[in-house]
Each structure stands twice: as C-alpha cells, then as structure tokens.
Amino acid sequence: MTSFRAFRPDDLNHFSKCNLDPLTETYDLSFYLQYFAKWPTLFQVAEDSRGNIVGYIMGKTESSPDYFQYSEHYLPWHAHITALTVAPEARRLGIGKMLTEQLEAGAEAANAYFVDLFVRKSNEKAIKFYEGMGYSVYRVVKDYYGDNINDPTAHGEDAYDMRKPTKRDKALKHIRDDGRKHEVQPEDVF
C-alpha cells in the first residue's frame, strides 16, 4: 500500500530504503530542511504501510539571479527537480511518475515556464524515465559531476539538462529538438 503526501522533517528518519541505494546521494540535513522551509509543496513523499519512505521528490521554483539577466543562459521563472528517488524495491510501479506529476502540478500552480533537472549522461534508466514523461534534453553540461561512475580516471561526467514545458510556454520557446548538440560549461548554468 502506498500513500503520497507532503514531506515532513521527521520523514528523514525513514529514508533508509531510498538512501541506502548507492545511486541516491544523502545530503546534509540543511539541504533537505532548506527545501522544506522554502518550497514545502514541491517536496513530496511516497510512504508504505509501515511508514517507510519509498520515494521522494524535492524541487524548487526560481529564475537565474539578476546578474545573469543578459546572459544567453539566463533561465526565466521555472521549477527545478533537485532530487527524485524511488527505493529499489518499489521501482517500476509508477511511483516516480506520480511524484514527478505532483511536482509538475506545483510548477503549473506557480506559473513556471518549464520544469528542468540535471541527470548523469550515463543514467540511461532515468533518462528513459524522463523522456517517457515528456522531458527532452535541452543542453549538455560538460563535466558537471565531479566524479565519473563508469570511468574513475575521467575528470568528471557530463550532465543532461532536461526540460519539459508547462502550459505557460505556449510557443514551446524553452525546449529544443537538438539539445544534445548544445554543449555548455558548468559555470554557464545556474
């Protein structure tokens, strides 16, 4: 049995099913609290019958800071998925999709232009997942991740910046078909 609800800080004590998975990073407490403090409606969890958190999504709404205003990389008001994870034992049930849809609903409610996220280029499963939900690659951020899971000798790993437009982006100005060809440096992204 799975329930979906807003995150509460005491859920952190029930994150083991998700966070003991090596693909899921465990951050400092301040990181989770910051999201809860600032964007509580964009932090949702899936809970099983025993109170374990078997999935969560954490996001924010923002635009690039003012000093980026005239940069070609300026990002208008949008929602960003900071973390999405589903416990290995609860994958392929639709939990990830449901959580993402909830965040998208939050983005719509906040009148954002699009929802975006970064994903490792090697994380094919997640890329498939996002593509299945209507996201597409907008640009490639070179060596965005400091480490490379598949090649420890490499400097780092590229990220795909993936996007999905919302209702507000009627003209689909914020997505592109050939995003994989657009490469940017980590300092270009906010």
Partner 1 sequence: MTHPAIPPSPETVCLRPLCPRNLDEAWLGERWVDAAVFARQQQKSAKDKKDKNYYHVVELAAWAHAPDERGINGRIAAKAAVEDMAKQNTPIDDAACLDLYEFACSKVALDYSETIGLLRSRFVKAQPKLKASALRCFDACLWHLDWENAQQIAALLDKKFSEDRKFLFRNILTTYLAACTERCPDNKKQLFLSLAKAQADRAFDLHAKVNVDGQDLHPRAVTNETEHLMWCELRILCAKPEDNLKLFTSSKSGPLAFLEHGFDRSYHQTMHYLHKSGAWAELFEIGQTVAGRSVAIYQEEGKAYAEAVRAIHQNRKDGEDESTTEKEKERKRAEVIQKSRASLSTKDRRYEEVCCDYFLWKAMVVAAKHQSDTNQKLEETRQLAQTMLEAKQQAEGKVKSVFRKNFHLLTLEILFARASETDEELADGSEQTTRVERLEKYIDTYYKDRSCFDDIKPFFSSLSKDEAAIFLKSLGTSGDKNADNFKGLMILSMRLKLRFLQATSASSGEKCDYCSEICQDTNCTGCLKSIAKGALDNFSSGIKDADLLRELQDTQDDPLSDMTMIGSVCLLNLAGVGRGCWDQGASSPFYETDTQYFLQAVTWVELYVRMIPRNDPLRMLLVKLYLLMGCVSRAKILWDSFGVKNAIVNSLGSLFFDRLSTISPRDFVNSITPTDKILRVFSKAIRKDFPNSIRQSLQYDNYWSVAKITKSGEDLSRSCALVMAVVEGRRGLRLGSDKGGAVIDDEPLIRNHALEHQLIDSTDYSYLPDFGGPNSKPTKELLSYGPPPSHERSHLSILAERFLDFVSCAQPRDYKPPKKGLALQFNWDYAVTTCKQIEQGIGVVLPAASKDHLTGAERWYYSVVLKLAVLVRTILDNAITTRSTGQVQETVRSIIVGLLDTFETQTNDLVSVPNDAQAKIQTVYGAAPVHAMGMVRESTQAIKHTVRYVTAAVDRIKATDKTRGASEAAWLGPELKKMTTAASDAELKVKDLIKQLNSKARTGGWVDRLNEWTFGDRTAPADPEDKAFRRDFADQLSNTIPRTDREFWADSVATSWQELFEGWKKVKWE
Ligand X SMILES: CC(C)(COP(=O)(O)OP(=O)(O)OC[C@H]1O[C@@H](n2cnc3c(N)ncnc32)[C@H](O)[C@@H]1OP(=O)(O)O)[C@@H](O)C(=O)NCCC(=O)NCCS
Interaction of residue 78 with partner 1, rule CB under 8 A: no
- Least Cβ distance, residue 154 to ligand X (angstroms): 19
- Long-range Cβ pairs for the range 68-75 (8 Å, 24+): 68/190, 71/188, 73/184, 73/188, 73/189, 73/190, 75/116, 75/190
Instruction: Report the residue number, 44 or 144, with the smaller CB distance to partner 1.
Output: 44
Interaction of residue 22 with ligand X, rule CB under 6 A: no
Task: Say if CB 140 and CB 160 are below 8 A apart.
Answer: yes
Site for ligand X in 64-123 (CB under 6 A): 84-86, 91-97, 117, 119, 123
Other beta carbons within 10 angstroms of residue 129's beta carbon come to 19
Nearest Cα neighbor of 115 from 94, 130, 132 is 130
Query: Vertex 72, ends 68 and 77: CA angle to 5°?
Result: 60
Residue 117: which of ligand X, partner 1, none does it interact with, CB under 5 to 8 A by kind? ligand X
Alpha-carbon gap, residue 52 to 3, rounded angstroms = 10
Residue 125: which of partner 1, ligand X, none does it interact with, CB under 5 to 8 A by kind? ligand X
Interaction site with ligand X (CB under 6 A): 23-24, 84-86, 91-97, 117, 119, 123, 125-126, 128-129, 132
Interaction site with partner 1 (CB under 8 A): 1-6, 8-10, 12-17, 19-22, 26-34, 36-41, 46, 48-50, 52, 88-95, 97-98, 101-102, 104-105, 108-109, 132-134, 166-167
